[in-house]
Structures are given as structure tokens and as C-alpha cells.
Amino acid sequence: MDFAQGPMVRMTNVHKRFGLHDVLTDVSLSVRPGEVCCLVGPSGAGKSTLIRCINYLEKIDRGSIHVNGQLVGYRLKNGRLHELSEREAGRSRADTAMVFQHFNLFPHLSVLDNIVEAPIHVRKENRRAAEAHARELLARVGLGDRERAYPRELSGGQKQRVAIARALAMRPKLLLFDEPTSALDPELVGEVLSVMRSLARDGQTMIVVTHEIGFAREVADTLVFMDQGRIVEHDTPARLIDTPQSERARVFFKRLLK
């Protein structure tokens, strides 16, 4: 982990509202390059909304988010903030990739074509180079023999590993995971977590929304407990899981670790 650099992610007093409901309230969070930050908390705590805001899939109402030193969703010109166009936002999102709960693979494309689609059309990579990189990534996630398969021919765990390879194909500086194992059968969870452990060992900056507390304890550098749209506690996994300071976190972990 490179502590000498500035933060990869800096969220400052972020507020997000859906209708009359505040889903994020005064959220401030920094994640350093090479750090693995896991977000935990009850359903509806705002965890998924938080990472969707980082990737500009949701627009914030107040505050600011910087990724790799760049303001997310806006540019500063003549002392005023100007919202980016959809095309500009897409380009600014290129350093960040996201792995979703339900895979979001294109059903009509093969595994290989799913992975090379964005590098070719967004990053304008040469197809041959994109395919060579895709094959390297498939080997890395243990699916080197499945490049010609279609999503319907894969298990849930295999689909999620393809989704991780697809995210990595964009060579992201930041990788976001939105409950990547929650849609999987229990026996398939381990194969996905194994790939994520490998990424952590290689120094990939990651923010992970997860209910897998054992994984968070083992892999995360920092653990964030959220409730009702706020960050309640932020500490090392060992301290936060074993000796939470807030009553809300104590109740949450006691129930989860029964």
C-alpha cells in the first residue's frame, strides 16, 4: 500500500436524497491507493448507493467526491462547478470499474466478447490486444477454457468471475464491488472470494460492499459500518468487529456472528 500518495477516493460531506428520503447524510471517507475498504451494515444503510455515487451512477445532492484526484461528475471552471455531459462522465469513469451483484453480462455475447466490449469501444484498444489481455484475465480467474461459452452456460460463480475479468479489462485504478457474492449459492461463494483475495494481494484498490464478515476481517485494511445513510464507525476490521464502540454496531455484529 502506498501511503505517500494522496487518497484514491475522497468523499467530503456527501448527501444523497431519493424523494423525501435521505439515503446518504454527511458522508466523508478516504481510501488510499492499494487499500481494501469493506462496507458493512444492515440492508438500506446506503452502502450500495455510496459506491454508485463514487462511480457516478447516482448523482449526489451535496458535497464532493474525488477519484484519483479528479472531481467526479463535475469540472471546476472559473471558480464554478459545471456538471459533465453523459459522454464526459463516461470518459471520467474510465479509471473506475464496478462488479455488480447480478453480473450484468450481455447474454448474446460470448465470455471473450463480454470482456473485450468495453476496452475496444470505450478505450479504443486494438481487438487483438484486447483479446490477448482478456485471455490473460480469464486464466487469472480460473476460466481459461471458457472463452467461447455464453453466460447461459455458466454457473453463478463463473458468471461473477467473468464479470470481475470484464472489470479488470479496463485496467481500473479503483475497483468497486456491490455485494458480489449475495446472489450466489453458498458453495460458489468461495471461488469468487478467492479471486478477490488475489486482487487484494496484488495491491488493487477496492471498495467492497459485503456481508461476508470473515472475508472482510481477513482481507480489508479498513472496515466501515454504516446505518441509516451515515458512517457510524470506521476502523480496522479486528477492532470494529471485536470491540465496536457504538451500540448499533455491537448489536449488528452480535447478530451476524451468532
Confidence label for 4 from pLDDT (cuts 50, 70 and 90): very low
Calculate the CA dihedral of residues 239, 240, 242, 246 and round it to 10 degrees.
Answer: 120
pLDDT at residue number 5: 64
The residue to which cell 449526489 is assigned: 60
pLDDT at residue number 84: 77
Write the pLDDT tens digit of every residue in 115-126: 999 999 888 999
pLDDT of 2 higher than 60: no
Quote the DSSP letter at residue 85. P
191 domain-assigned: yes
Confidence label for 91 from pLDDT (cuts 50, 70 and 90): low
Can you spell out the DSSP letters for 150-175?
A: -GGGS-HHHHHHHHHHHHHTT--SEE
Residue 79 DSSP SS3: coil
pLDDT at residue number 132: 97
58 domain-assigned: yes
Confidence label for 3 from pLDDT (cuts 50, 70 and 90): very low
Tell me which of 82-86, 102-106, 193-197 is least confident.
82-86
Q: What is the CATH number of the domain that holds 27?
A: 3.40.50.300
172 domain-assigned: yes
213 domain-assigned: yes
Which residues sit opposite 225 in a β-bridge? 40, 233
> What percent of the chain stands above pLDDT 70?
96
21 domain-assigned: yes
Q: What angle do CA 171, 35, 99 make, to 5 degrees?
A: 45
Q: What's the sign of the alpha-carbon dihedral 97, 102, 103, 107?
A: negative
pLDDT of 129 higher than 50: yes
Q: Give me the number of domains the chain comprises.
A: 1
48 domain-assigned: yes
pLDDT of 63 higher than 50: yes
Write the pLDDT tens digit of every residue in 137-162: 999 999 999 999 999 999 999 999 99
Q: Return the closest-CA partner of residue 64 out of 9, 13, 25, 6.
A: 13
Write the pLDDT tens digit of every residue in 203-221: 999 999 999 999 999 999 9
The stretch 100-111 carries a mean pLDDT of: 93
Q: Report the chain's mean pLDDT, rounded to a whole number.
A: 91
pLDDT at residue number 255: 86
2 domain-assigned: no
Domain that holds residue 65: 9-256
127, 181, 182 from 203: Cα distances, Å: 27, 21, 24
Residue 71 DSSP SS3: strand
The stretch 212-234 carries a mean pLDDT of: 95
Can you spell out the DSSP letters for 7-65?
A: PSEEEEEEEEEETTEEEEEEEEEEE-TT-EEEEE-STTSSHHHHHHHHTTSS--SEEEE
Quote the DSSP letter at residue 252. H
pLDDT at residue number 194: 94
Quote the DSSP letter at residue 66. E
4 domain-assigned: no
Which residues sit opposite 96 in a β-bridge? 174
